[in-house]
Chains A and B, each alone.
Chain A
Amino acid sequence: MNTANYLVDITMIMPELTLICVALILLLLDLVVKNKEVLAAVGIAGTLVALYGTYKLFVFHAPQSVFADMFVLDGYSNFFKLIFYLNIILTILISLKYMTIEKASFGEYYSLLIFATTGMMIMASAADLIVLYLGLELMALSTYILAGLMRKQLRSNEAALKYFFLGAFSSAILLYGISMTYGLTGTTNLREIAAALQTLNIMESPAVFLGLIFLIVAFGFKVALAPFHMWAPDVYEGAPTSITAFMSVGPKAAGFAVMGRVLFEAFGGMQMQWNSILIPLAVITMAVGSIIALAQTNIKRMLAYSSIAHAGYMLLGIIAGTPEGLASTANYLMIYMFMNIGAFAIVIMLRREGFQGENLDDYMGLAKSHPLASALMLIFMFSLTGIPPTAGFIGKFYVFMEVIRSGYTYLAIIAVIFSVISAFFYLRVVMYMYMKDPKEDVTLTTSSTLSIALAITAIMVLILGIFPSFLLNLVRSSIPG
């Protein structure tokens, strides 16, 4: 345990360190550079450098754990980090013009996004409950602030406050779970927990189960599983739309990353126990998300419930309990990121000075005035529903396959039923756009960066829908059995 060791370990967290440096540089640049586009460009450039770093580490180093086994670098963490990188880049692209319209174009916006991403990356790599918790707090604290960034708007304040309170509450539950686990096993390291559960022979102990429940509840808060989803609609509605896009993917992916790692690595032998909690949760989540979304007239709220329902589908991959199942969840998250950010990008286009553009009615007859934007929205809505040949279908198909292979056919059937129900509200948007007459003229706010983001997301949704093998190979090789 000498210091020299830790100096070598620093190489392994280079991507995270790069991001932190970029975030700090952005804070300083904000003082001298008045043009926010420069800051956004620096942010994206920094993210790309970090992405390159992760790639290098992936190519040149075998999976390993550093910092006294607290931080692991493996395919699993790298795949999730890829999601986070793409997530932040797309978010920055869609937010440039939007934040100016909302009069919340602060330089700190970009550094907070980067800090949140760093937190997620730490979560994805955490092999110790303490690091996991700290990464989660770093991510959560940044997103609370981002949600309340539109300081003049009451609903943004409300969103930040609700998110903060419920987030703090879930952190407390997480800490309770961690302390129970630590008290029973004497360690916070995931692998050592698994070993201690074996050697002490306490897998059947109700106390361990209680600790496990606390952990799952806390992660459930972060990924918005029902019945811990109460915060999601209000927060998604009140937060700046670009942040809603960011939050609906990043923290969710990070939450699933840690849930997968903790359940598989530390509590791998207790699959029976955790499935007895996760299966009801998944069913309730899919039901709540799909059914309540039917009643929404605000598109941001609708997408919030949709994201709850999707969390339910993603959970199926973990319930499958195999590495393949975990891979299907990761795959779903990657696809979900493209289609969800794409949908939010369209929502952002409707926002302009003095016009919210968040009601479903605002989409009436959009196809007549803006055929291209409507076509893109159509693709995203089809994908969110899971209609081939879009990527959403591949994501769902893979997850359902895995859950059937593990013998939970009834879960797959339930999931398909709720998918059909969800088609109603997704396709309603399409119906509004194509089959209704426009109420008033809608002008779209476009910008070059937003177009780039839309192009990337739409192309990826289509390509992954038609040629999914590339992504499937990547995720399968990242998460080997």
Chain B
Amino acid sequence: MSTPQVLFAYFAVAMTILSLLVVTRRNPVHSVLWMLVLFIHIAALYLFLNAEFIAAIQIIIYAGAILVLFLFVIMLLNLRKEETEKRFQKQWLYSIAISVLFVFFLVLIVGNITVIPPPGPYTADVIKSEGHIMTVGKVLYSEFLLPFEIASLILLVAIIGAVVLAKKRIE
């Protein structure tokens, strides 16, 4: 195996283990911390794709803002009771069985893929020569203009929703 392959294998395995840790921890703060580590691994994986901008954004937005927000909420809630309760429903064994079966099929199917589609216009060399931020910016504001604007609309609706559901109303 070449170095990138070894590194990728490490990240893939580590990310799987970390995700398991996130969902199995009793203490929600510990879950959040494992998620932080997980996000940093994901960011590293983006670096493999020469997507340095996305990697930085991954950490700034997810680790820096969203997870801090999670922590903030978890700290404000009193979760002492939840910590002592059972972590999973009774059916967890079935769920695991189905998941394992699914993974088995997935490996079987994905392992047999022989046809690889032709690469698109944004190869690693193009990104290197132009700079990742520049490439992302150009694509985002030309080809993907419409999706980009719709995404902003979705965020707006999310803000409205938060206000509608949480605001105190004088009745």
Contacts and interface: CB of A to CB of B under 8 A. Distances in A.
Interface of A: 1, 3, 6, 13, 20, 27, 67-68, 70-71, 103, 106, 108, 111-112, 115, 118, 122, 128, 130-131, 134-135, 137-138, 141-142, 144-145, 148-149, 151, 160, 183-187, 196, 200-202, 205-207, 210
A108 B128 CA distance: 46
Interface string B88-106: 0000000000000000011
Contacts of B153: 20, 115, 118, 138
Given A112-B160, A144-B161, A185-B117, 13 more contacts: A20-B153, A106-B164, A108-B163, A108-B164, A111-B160, A112-B161, A134-B151, A138-B153, A142-B157, A145-B161, A145-B165, A186-B118, A210-B109
Nearest to B146: A67
A227 to B, nearest CB: 13
Interface stretch (B17-25, B26-34, B79-87, B137-145): B137-145
B109 A6 contact: no
30 contacts: A1-B142, A1-B143, A6-B142, A13-B146, A20-B153, A67-B145, A68-B142, A68-B144, A70-B146, A106-B164, A108-B163, A112-B157, A112-B161, A115-B153, A134-B147, A134-B151, A135-B150, A138-B150, A142-B157, A145-B165, A148-B165, A149-B164, A151-B165, A184-B113, A186-B120, A187-B117, A200-B115, A205-B115, A207-B110, A207-B113
Across the A-B interface, give the 10 residue pairs with the lowest CB-CB distance, nearest first: A186-B117, A145-B161, A67-B146, A134-B150, A68-B143, A108-B164, A206-B109, A130-B147, A200-B115, A141-B157
A141 B154 contact: yes
Contacts of B118: 186
A368 to B, nearest CB: 37
B109 A115 contact: no
Given A186-B118, A207-B110, A145 B150 contact: no
Nearest to A148: B165
Contacts of A103: 171
B113 A205 contact: yes
Contacts of B171: 103
B2 interface: no
Contacts of B150: 122, 131, 134-135, 138
Instruction: Specify which of B112, B145, B153, B171 lies most central, judged by the most chain A CB atoms within 10 Å of its CB.
Output: B153
Contacts of B163: 108
Instruction: Specify which of A27, A68, A103, A128 lies most central, judged by the most chain B CB atoms within 10 Å of its CB.
Output: A68
B66 interface: no
Given A20-B153, A112-B164, A138-B154, A3 B142 contact: yes
Given A145-B157, A145-B160, A206-B112, A184 B151 contact: no
Nearest to B117: A186
B74 interface: no
Nearest to B120: A186
Nearest to B151: A134
Contacts of B144: 68, 70, 130
Nearest to B111: A207
Contacts of A131: 146-147, 150
A300 B146 CA distance: 38
A202 B160 CA distance: 44
Contacts of B151: 134
Contacts of A202: 115
B69 interface: no
Contact of A145 (B109, B110, B146, B164): B164
Nearest to B110: A207
B126 interface: no
B158 interface: yes
B55 to A, nearest CB: 19
A184 B118 CA distance: 10
Contacts of A184: 113, 115, 117
Contacts of A134: 147, 150-151, 154
Contacts of A137: 154
B137 to A, nearest CB: 13
Nearest to B141: A3
A135 B149 CA distance: 11
A20 to B, nearest CB: 7
Nearest to A185: B117
A144 B144 CA distance: 27
A68 B138 CA distance: 14
A70 B147 contact: yes
A349 B147 CA distance: 41
A36 to B, nearest CB: 14
B109 A71 contact: no
A192 B119 CA distance: 14
Contacts of B160: 27, 108, 111-112, 115, 145
Instruction: Specify which of B117, B147, B169 lies most central, judged by the most chain A CB atoms within 10 Å of its CB.
Output: B147
A70 B146 CA distance: 8
A211 B119 CA distance: 20
Nearest to A200: B115
Contacts of A138: 150, 153-154, 157
Nearest to A186: B117
B157 A71 contact: no
A141 B155 CA distance: 9
A20 B119 CA distance: 37
Nearest to A128: B147
Contacts of B142: 1, 3, 6, 68
Given A1-B142, A138-B150, A200 B161 contact: no
B143 A115 contact: no
Nearest to B106: A210
Interface string B18-61: 00000000000000000000000000000000000000000000
Nearest to A188: B147
